[in-house]
Chain A
Amino acid sequence: MVDDTPLTRPGDRFPIGLAGHTVPISTESPTPGRPWGMDHAVVTIPAPVPHLDKHKKPTKTFTETRGTKGNMDGKVVPDTQTVTVTVTD
């Protein structure tokens, strides 16, 4: 779930994670009017750091399934959505 208050007070942001670090996986395609900065988004698979033991993930991405609702034949029904959570440096 993403904050919908544009300028959330700092105390309100705890503890669901940082905005922009948790994004839903989307099937939508880029539009011609997308924000200019998004032109620089690239698909990146973080390369493993060689010769490391347990501390080997500077960046990690994983997915999880959460409850939500969907639409089936015009009826709202329980569904799930896959969410990717990525923690960067």
Chain B
Amino acid sequence: MILILASEDSSEAQWVSQILANRGMSPWWFDTSWFPSRASLTAQLTSFGWHGTITTSRSVIDLQAVSAVYYQQSQPFTFPVGLSEPELRFATIETRFGLGGLLSSLSARWVSHPSNVADAEYRITQMTAATAVGLAVPASILTNEVTPAKQFIETQDSGAVYKTIMHKIVSEESLVKLIHTTRVDSCTIDRRISLAPHLLQHNVDKAFDARIIVTSRGTCLGVAIRTDDSAARQDWTTRYDRLTYEPVKVPDEVARKCREFLAALHIEVGVFDFSVDSAGTWWFLEVNPCGAWAWLAEETGLPVAEAVADLLTEDNTPCPV
């Protein structure tokens, strides 16, 4: 049996589940936010591992019968209102290591394993791996020092951009704010840069952006993302309403290096973002092991869900690189 371990409203997981259903399979679904309010577990240790069940309002998941897991954006647990901070912390950590340990130890094919996903979320690690496999990565500097930051910006012939390393969301003044990729000027740099490492990167003079979905089995599906909006050209996530999408052929060499990248980080699916310049160079920006692709598949008709379903249903022979 296949387990969908995902947020209840994940479009990607819903689509994969539908493809599996079309193939005559009825996957189990478990959303970590259901625990403990809408789910319970019991498992006993045997010489073959933990045997037991997770019971939800939808099904009784037999842990021993899980052969593959599609892991996509787990959500925080839901505890009763009114617990004290120490009580909430106790319940959260015990659940995290109890339920988390139980799921992590499943002897199943993971697409992809949460620990590997967590490792791959480090953007700095991604950039190292991308460079190692030969992908083109824009000139970059990570610093919390004023002078190197200013010098880097001033030596980029088409300018420099600032990108967060992880924390894209800021809440203050009761507002939720996002930090997009932003063009920066060296004169704005001041000593406040010393409070955290800041990532600055060469501003790629792009012809278009591309999001490509690559699987460890060799599927590589690319979508060109174009816009005439100046802000969206800098960061297309700022203006979804001004974008156009079309399938794009990914150069074989780029596709091969992306598969090598997945192998290096032990992940089965990667949602890669590239900028493509007028010379045809594909510049690696980042990869998200649990990235969004459903709306792109719907816009372009690319069979991404089918490719993920293939990964979940195939045998466990080693993946070619």
Listed in ascending order, the chain A residues whose CB lies under 8 Å from chain B are: 1, 10-11, 13-30, 33-44, 46-50, 52-61, 64-69, 76, 78, 80, 83-89
Contacts and interface: CB of A to CB of B under 8 A. Distances in A.
B295 interface: yes
A23 B77 CA distance: 15
B151 to A, nearest CB: 16
B79 interface: yes
B179 A40 contact: yes
A10 B299 contact: no
B175 interface: yes
14 contacts: A10-B115, A13-B114, A23-B169, A27-B174, A36-B190, A37-B193, A48-B241, A54-B11, A55-B297, A64-B78, A67-B87, A85-B76, A89-B237, A89-B271
A24 B176 CA distance: 9
Interface in B178-226: 178-180, 182, 184, 188-190, 192-193, 195-196, 198
B239 A47 contact: yes
B295 A49 contact: yes
B253 interface: no
Interface string B1-17: 00001010101001100
By secondary structure, the B interface counts as: mixed
Contacts, number: 203
Most chain A CB within 10 A, of B5, B118, B162, is at B118
B32 A89 contact: no
A67 B170 contact: no
B167 interface: yes
B176 A25 contact: yes
Contacts of A37: 162, 164, 179, 193, 196, 198
Interface of B: 5, 7, 9, 11, 14-15, 32, 73-85, 87-89, 92, 96, 99-100, 103-104, 114-116, 118-119, 121, 162, 164, 166-180, 182, 184, 188-190, 192-193, 195-196, 198, 237-241, 271, 273, 288, 291-292, 294-295, 297-299
Contact of B99 (A13, A15, A19, A89): A15
A58 B295 contact: yes
A23 to B, nearest CB: 5
Contacts of A54: 11, 14, 298
A31 to B, nearest CB: 10
B193 A46 contact: no
B237 A36 contact: no
B103 A15 contact: yes
Contacts of A35: 192-193, 195-196, 198
